[in-house]
């Protein structure tokens, strides 16, 4: 399995438990003003990720490094064990932006009326593969076995259930165990704690290369367009800093377009952040990205993508009841403005 390091200064240490960051502390408001015209200055961007960093997020690191250079800011990164935790930190005011699953963000908005909105996405298809003990031959063999997920309702849970249900597997006969992120699931496989678990392509392929495991199934074979992760923003903060948010979204989409067009450079940059990832594994993982059309080069906020992602989450029960119109939980203006000025790909 791969390990990760940061090559950039100003990055916070890995936070294994969100309680370290939340810990009952009251939200700390920004000291700067919030003018109606959205031009309040930004000195520091506090951004949260919903899991340990992985090979899928190399474009994110380029984006943040470029953003620091172009906007003259400091980026503070925090890492959580689930989308729910990263979004709770966003709601509490501990973060300005946060990565996570669309369903987790929608749930917070619909259940609690929390003022957060999806503004952009970098992944419009899942790169997940289902890594399993080498003794398992097909998906039906999972019945009666233990399958590791991150947390109920998160992408590792909802996408896995969608794939298995569509492929005729009785998920009621599978024991779903809450293990943690991709690295924890691969560790659980190696130790025999679980029999199978979803993994991002690079982590899964790296674990398989060590022996005793196999790629049982590629999620891209079953799941169509699906927003694998989305950036949510605190609405009040975004209103006060609208100019900065637009610049951030512009740079975000540019970094995704760079990632989609530059395999060699992507892998070269990954070497600064990913320890122990063999070049052939990195190349194979990037090819998975390309094969499934993972990179959201147009920002991922078009209505069909949003609707399809919501439909999948409803299918597996990650979202229940009536889901409000996307205007209630997505702010597409920043992506739309970028596309108006730069065109679609």
Residue 30 is predicted with a pLDDT of 35
Mean pLDDT per 10-residue interval, the chain, length 345 residues: 36 32 34 64 94 88 96 94 90 95 91 90 94 96 96 86 95 95 90 95 92 92 90 95 97 98 96 87 94 95 95 87 92 98 97
Question: Alpha carbon of 219 to those of 129, 190, 205, 209, 265: distances in Å?
Answer: 6, 21, 14, 19, 26
Domain borders along the chain are 43-125+226-342, 129-221
Q: Which two tokens stand for residue 62?
A: 């380029």
**What CA–CA distance (Å, rounded) separates 226 from 251?**
22
Residue of 276, 218, 230, 233 whose CA lies nearest to 256: 230
* DSSP one-letter code for 330: B
pLDDT digits (tens, 9 = 90+) for 180-195: 888 889 999 999 999 9
Residue 26 is predicted with a pLDDT of 33
Sequence-distant (≥ 6) Cβ neighbours of residue 230 within 8 angstroms:
99, 100, 101, 102, 105, 118, 120, 121, 300
Q: Comparing 43-125+226-342 with 129-221, is the CATH topology the same?
A: yes
Residue 224 is predicted with a pLDDT of 83
CA 319-175-86 angle, 5° bins: 45
Please tell me the CATH code under which domain 129-221 is placed.
3.40.190.10
**Whole-prediction pTM value?**
0.83
Residue 22 is predicted with a pLDDT of 33
Residue 98 is predicted with a pLDDT of 97
**Which residues share a beta bridge with 130?**
198, 217
pLDDT digits (tens, 9 = 90+) for 62-80: 999 999 999 999 999 999 9
> Under CATH, to which class is 43-125+226-342 assigned?
alpha beta
Residue 82 is predicted with a pLDDT of 85
**What CA–CA distance (Å, rounded) separates 213 from 118?**
36
């Amino acid at each position: 399995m791969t390990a990760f390091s940061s090559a950039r200064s100003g990055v916070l240490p890995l936070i294994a438990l969100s309680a370290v960051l939340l810990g009952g502390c009251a939200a700390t408001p920004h000291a700067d003003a919030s003018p109606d015209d959205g031009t309040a200055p930004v000195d520091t961007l506090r951004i949260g990720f919903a899991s340990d960093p992985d090979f899928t997020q190399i474009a994110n690191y380029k984006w943040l490094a470029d953003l620091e250079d172009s906007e003259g800011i400091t980026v503070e990164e925090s890492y959580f064990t689930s989308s729910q935790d990263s979004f709770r930190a966003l709601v509490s005011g501990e973060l300005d932006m946060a990565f996570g699953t669309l369903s987790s963000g929608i749930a917070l908005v619909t259940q609690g009326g929390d003022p957060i909105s999806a503004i952009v996405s970098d992944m419009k298809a899942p790169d997940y593969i289902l890594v399993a003990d080498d003794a398992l031959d097909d998906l039906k063999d999972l019945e009666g076995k233990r399958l590791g997920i991150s947390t109920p309702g998160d992408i590792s849970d909802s996408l896995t259930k969608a794939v298995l249900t569509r492929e005729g597997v009785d998920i009621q006969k599978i024991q779903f165990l809450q293990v943690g992120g991709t690295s924890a699931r691969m560790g659980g496989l190696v130790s025999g704690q679980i029999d199978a678990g979803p993994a991002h392509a690079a982590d899964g392929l790296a674990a398989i290369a060590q022996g005793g495991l196999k790629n049982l199934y590629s999620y891209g074979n079953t799941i169509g367009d699906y927003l694998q992760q989305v950036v949510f923003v605190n609405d009040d903060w975004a209103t006060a800093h609208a100019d900065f948010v637009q610049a951030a979204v512009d740079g975000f989409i540019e970094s995704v377009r760079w990632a989609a067009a530059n395999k060699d450079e992507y892998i070269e940059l990954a070497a600064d952040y990913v320890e122990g990832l063999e070049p052939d594994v990195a190349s194979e993982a990037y090819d998975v990205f390309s094969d499934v059309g993972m990179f959201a080069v147009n920002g991922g906020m078009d209505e069909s993508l949003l609707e399809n992602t919501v439909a999948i989450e409803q299918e597996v029960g990650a979202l229940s009841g009536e889901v409000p119109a996307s205007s209630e939980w997505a702010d597409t203006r920043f992506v739309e403005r970028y596309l108006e000025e730069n065109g679609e790909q």
